[in-house]
Structure 1
């Protein structure tokens, strides 16, 4: 007998299962089924998944739409870079552009009113993380992500890029004001 060439009759599926081994297989299978059905349950009833729409777009098309909204609804500018603050009416399409290393423009929304937030990246993958509300979306170039948002509390919210996008990634922050 050799350790390199085991006998042909030692095939694993021909040996009976040990009781402990069978118990662990059953436990693992039951746990897998519990986890599977919990994922389905939370998707349907958990209210944790964003209902987003995604469309293909180009940087030029999206920038033109965003610029039109900025031109129409700008109320003031902020920061050294003169970033426009946009205050659209309820039900409006609001555009937010991610590019190295900024979010443009700053949004000013009203509490309890619904808006359609359109997001895209012009250059690299970026992460849209709205703090402290824990809204999190990966923003991909060439795709327009549309999310219906209804702010339910007033305040200043930070937009943080949570997808590493380069050397100044840590400075890529934006704002949303809710009145």
Structure 2
């Protein structure tokens, strides 16, 4: 038998298995089982994957929720584009819009408080990556992604779009400020 010519007997699965082939098949099956069971183990014990929620929404409805929060809790504006900086009450839901080519608005959160972060896109697929933390997920139009977050360090955190969204993709950067509790 050669690799070029078809086998003389068409029922190849009835041919005897060589010892080396059996060893490789057993090793491949064992490796597949290890990788399969590592996925749930890594999710639970590795704390690498977010447990988040996703809901259907419309861009208009999501933009309305974000605008209501901005209208109620804006403390100042920042940058040349006059992006509002919003300080919501501790423990509230916050809404971050992804749109060409900006994350809107900027939030000022309180250290040690839990927030539900809602994100959605108004136009294209974006990637939400909160640096230097390991929060990373897809943001799609028509879907509202919700992540529960409790900031434990104060400072400035950068939101980066990590999904190519057009010629201005490299400028799509946002911020979240985490401040110590104000008395």
TM range (shorter): over 0.9
TM-score (normalised: structure 2): 0.92
Find out whether 1:14 has 2:14 as its counterpart. Answer: yes
The alpha carbon displacement at 1:49 in A equals 2.1
CA 1:94–1:15 in 2, change beyond 3 Å: closer, same or farther?
same
How many residue pairs were aligned?
178
SS in 2 for 1:124: coil
Find out whether 1:70 has 2:70 as its counterpart. Answer: yes
Question: Which residue number in structure 1 is paired with residue 53 of structure 2?
Answer: 53
SS in 1 for 2:107: strand
Question: Which residue number in structure 2 is paired with residue 152 of structure 1?
Answer: 152
* Residues in 1 aligned to 2:11 and 2:35: alpha-carbon distance in whole angstroms: 32
C-alpha deviations, 1:49-86, integer Å up to 9, x for none?
21211111111111110000001111100001110000
Unmatched 5+ residue regions in structure 2? none
Unmatched 5+ residue regions in structure 1? none
RMSD: 1.7
Q: How does 1:22-171 map to 2 (within 5 A)?
A: 22-171=22-171
C-alpha deviations, 1:131-170, integer Å up to 9, x for none?
1112101000000111111011111111000000000100
* Residues in 2 aligned to 1:47 and 1:71: alpha-carbon distance in whole angstroms: 36
SS in 2 for 1:60: helix
SS in 1 for 2:146: strand
Conserved 8 A contact 2:48-2:134: no
* Residues in 2 aligned to 1:152 and 1:22: alpha-carbon distance in whole angstroms: 52
* Residues in 2 aligned to 1:54 and 1:5: alpha-carbon distance in whole angstroms: 52
TM-score (normalised: structure 1): 0.94
* Residues in 2 aligned to 1:153 and 1:42: alpha-carbon distance in whole angstroms: 25
CA 1:78–1:5 in 2, change beyond 3 Å: closer, same or farther?
closer
CA 1:5–1:71 in 2, change beyond 3 Å: closer, same or farther?
closer
